[in-house]
Structure 1
């Protein structure tokens, strides 16, 4: 039902009973077994993973210390704007505050359909990269390959499927403690670099800002001209974007945690700030310990190493002359890879679950077990982990690079759509005569300007991130960089042609009904009472 502006009476926000699975069988429902501490660290842990611990090595060699920090700070700002926009929409929709519902309500169903499959596939295709990185990380110790790579792939694929399929509470508990380990690792690395760079290391070597002066704060990328410094910064935005992806995970937890309407904004705000802080501060400290032209770093990057050898965190410890810590940090990276693999199954399984409400995916994907876990969907997405077996054959490296480009680009598209959906929600309230400032829910700051900024930047990065394919022209790299854009538009246009619905929902007809959560009723703080303040 839609809310429309009327001349005879003030606009009203329709209060409807919340049932995010109304079109699915009644036994196929999620259960609210995640605790606030679970979702808090799940969201934080999603962006503190292999993308930062290893991917920052390539970023440092491409852009230099200052160029790398600028890229990560800029992408961190874009991430914060995106999460804040998402937090307000989730607070408004309550237990129905998930990505698919947001796209279907505020944009149109074709966008929601394309978002469903783009978002799910981006995480499913990341899973094999995380599993293969586990193989390489274990190889840091098992240099003689006593444990075959194919055995590692099968073992860890089975473990992450088991964690996800038993109970969402089990998944939350595992992620809680794993993220705690990652936080200890990051804090430890920051403190170690601070002490070591000041001379508190076995070599008694003080570096300070030495590597910012020589070889310099920036690296010229592709050209020795001044524009090369800018190109380096712009190229690293892709690395930074991949590192931040996953911080929006809580946008799919609405059906599995109680008091989501009040919980989501608090968690998202804290996560956004902590993500930016941990990323920028940790990379700043590492840049004091590792030069952009460090031979260990360049050799690892040029060889395509996906293990701890490319991590600037590991190299920083080695440069300080500490013998034991590299193995400890490599173990921390291994834990981060395992955590990321867990999330790569959780997110697409819930994306398909919510998409089934609108008929975007097969019904069997939403069938749940007695603990409320969509187990067929978990098994389906977990099977993507077996693609890691392809990495055992070196000839598959190019295929794998294509998958990684597709994943990162899909992430930019999905984030841009979140901000675009917010703008339609924002201006839809205005069009229907509703005062956003009178709503007793969280309101994200600096709107609509922050959403406009984030949306513009994400679209710009998505369009230009493959610029290296033009210098010089490389057809293969061009398709590797832009295949995800092509797939997204094929999904979007294909659904419009299938349904013959070519019009975006007019702002005056956007569904601004406000679901009433069970927790609101139990607390005697119904949405009706909250929204009545608008018309007092």
Structure 2
């Protein structure tokens, strides 16, 4: 006769009724660990009764502490930075308002295809610093190696760009203080920020990014009110001249498309952070949708408002001249000056300062996770794969911050010229990365179908496949090639400064060198579709738990009694909760029946620490 389960706590009884419906989230296993068996005998992903709960045997690893709102704001924090607050003015100056709007819209469409491709892969195999791993498994290990280092390289350069921009902004209040001092202080701040546990970092970044979102929204509203004459004095109606000006020239448009690429970088951060997301199958698609539409709307409306209020040839728009190294103030400041409130200039400059630093912090986060992932995959020194007890890859963070410290001597030599050089390096590199992601997704889906897998097993399916990834990869590749012509023939780069011409295309030769070097020395080949690895990092029996269900598990303790053995609680990842720290011996995980997880615990007088007293088992 089977024993009767009796539980005193009413809420615990209710929880038991929900258990068959609760689905536990996947957890990245050690890369060399075997897949868990479906002891329940079922197929597919199964339910909680099919899961084998194993004690934590991994060394220190990245922690899954990011909710959907954290993913969204980390990505927005990396995307909304100098691209919208500083270089949006240069975009209008180079191509006019219409040309700038067209350039940002073009990049926006391409980014949509790219991030939906990334979302499909990241929800199926959610690992931190994912790009090089996906390319390594589904295309060629050499491509994964090159993409990984390319991504780390361009984010490291971007960190320097953000810190240089922050130092320039400080000249608004302290024009006599050397910019290298500000660069040093800001770099220390960013480093400290990234040494926080991921949950604390995510929460802090959430609020910093929220400041950006609110600021851009207020800017758009105030700008529209200025244009119709409700607030302040917008002066003459410059929008007629601006929008009648049209697109300056083809090379100006091409240059702004490059700038727009720099502005949208960070949209892919959701894929980087997927490995630290609490619920990647649910959170990643939500975050990607929010990031894309918010960013696109903010950029297009910002360009439109600046075009309504600021002449395209305004001397204070950020236009860099290699002869004078002139770098002017933000178009946001120019617009808020028109409100007539002197304090608004200080407020907006402070907000711009915080947003630029936040973007730099997101850069350290992205680059360090990419470096960590490469170390785990054997594509970087193993030391960068070491993680602190709080789940921070501290060696990778320090290495990334060190490269970002190039901002120090960039500030000493001259902000304007070298700001543009760094911008060019970053812009071309991100196009390479996005093209690689798009092509990798095309191979991912082809291999998935070739191996006889059902598309319904994908937690998220990218729309417009195969058109989306093919189109995005093709246009990104053309833009990389087009930047070469822009560097040689555009009047901006013109024939004035060879260093700017060279750096405008330096990302491509670096990427090709990395790819060929790894391919030659390691003798790698393109991975056949039937040999593409979909299993590492993915437990075929594990699926997600909704956050409201997770709240149930975290807010109550259910103690089940069966056959004189206590079925111990499991945590969010389906791992047995370790009670040894609470002084309870004998935590041995065993299995019984249809995959039920049972913990043998010696009989004790009274309940376990933290448990609700239970009624003894009756037969």
Could you state the TM-score of these two structures normalised by the residue count of structure 2? Answer: 0.75
The equivalent residue for 2:472 is 454
**Deviating more after overlay: 126-135 vs 56-65:** 126-135
Q: Is the 8 A contact 2:124 2:458 kept in 1?
A: no
SS in 2 for 1:254: helix
- Aligned-partner Cα distance in 1 for 2:234–2:420: 41
- Aligned-partner Cα distance in 2 for 1:368–1:90: 22
- Aligned-partner Cα distance in 1 for 2:437–2:96: 31
The equivalent residue for 1:463 is 481
- Aligned-partner Cα distance in 2 for 1:184–1:521: 32
The equivalent residue for 2:447 is 428
- Aligned-partner Cα distance in 2 for 1:368–1:152: 30
**Does 2:410 correspond to 1:388?**
no
Q: Is the 8 A contact 1:97 1:251 kept in 2?
A: yes
**Once the 2 structures are TM-superposed, how far is the Cα of residue 209 of structure 1 from its aligned partner?**
3.5
The equivalent residue for 2:115 is 83
The equivalent residue for 1:7 is none
The equivalent residue for 1:46 is 78
**Once the 2 structures are TM-superposed, how far is the Cα of residue 289 of structure 1 from its aligned partner?**
0.6
The equivalent residue for 1:5 is none
SS in 2 for 1:294: coil
**Once the 2 structures are TM-superposed, how far is the Cα of residue 94 of structure 1 from its aligned partner?**
3.6
The equivalent residue for 1:3 is none
- Aligned-partner Cα distance in 1 for 2:59–2:303: 47
Residue of 218, 231, 246 corresponding to 2:247 = 218
- What count of residue pairs does the alignment treat as equivalent? 496
- Aligned-partner Cα distance in 2 for 1:301–1:313: 21
- Aligned-partner Cα distance in 2 for 1:78–1:157: 32
- Aligned-partner Cα distance in 2 for 1:399–1:138: 18
- Aligned-partner Cα distance in 2 for 1:434–1:34: 30
Q: Is the 8 A contact 2:233 2:340 kept in 1?
A: yes
Q: Deviations over 1:445-472 (max 9, x none)?
A: 1111111111111111111113233326
- Aligned-partner Cα distance in 2 for 1:67–1:266: 31
Q: Deviations over 1:209-264 (max 9, x none)?
A: 423355x2322xxxxxxxx2x33222210110000001110111122121112221
Q: Is the 8 A contact 2:225 2:231 kept in 1?
A: yes
**Does 2:175 correspond to 1:155?**
no
The equivalent residue for 1:278 is 298
- In the TM superposition, 1:2-13 aligns within 5 A as none
Q: Which has the larger radius of gyration?
A: 2
**Does 2:274 correspond to 1:257?**
no
**Does 2:505 correspond to 1:482?**
yes
- Aligned-partner Cα distance in 1 for 2:416–2:234: 41
Q: Is the 8 A contact 2:70 2:205 kept in 1?
A: yes
- In the TM superposition, 1:364-443 aligns within 5 A as 364-394=383-413, 401-436=420-455, 438-439=456-457, 441-443=459-461
The equivalent residue for 1:224 is none
SS in 2 for 1:255: helix
Query: Taking structure 1 as reference, are residues 298 and 388 closer, same or farther at Cα in structure 2, changes over 3 Å only?
Result: closer
Q: Deviations over 1:485-527 (max 9, x none)?
A: 11111110000111112x211223222337128972778999x
Query: Taking structure 1 as reference, are residues 83 and 172 closer, same or farther at Cα in structure 2, changes over 3 Å only?
Result: same
The equivalent residue for 2:379 is 360
Could you state the TM-score of these two structures normalised by the residue count of structure 1? Answer: 0.86
Q: Is the 8 A contact 1:94 1:517 kept in 2?
A: no
| Structure 2: unaligned runs, 5 residues or longer | 1-25, 34-56, 550-571, 574-619
**Once the 2 structures are TM-superposed, how far is the Cα of residue 397 of structure 1 from its aligned partner?**
6.5
**Does 2:299 correspond to 1:267?**
no
**Once the 2 structures are TM-superposed, how far is the Cα of residue 200 of structure 1 from its aligned partner?**
2.0
**Once the 2 structures are TM-superposed, how far is the Cα of residue 206 of structure 1 from its aligned partner?**
6.5
- Aligned-partner Cα distance in 1 for 2:159–2:291: 23
The equivalent residue for 2:161 is 129
- Aligned-partner Cα distance in 2 for 1:449–1:364: 41
The equivalent residue for 1:496 is 519
CA RMSD of aligned residues (A): 2.8
- Aligned-partner Cα distance in 1 for 2:110–2:321: 27
**Does 2:200 correspond to 1:191?**
no
SS in 2 for 1:470: helix
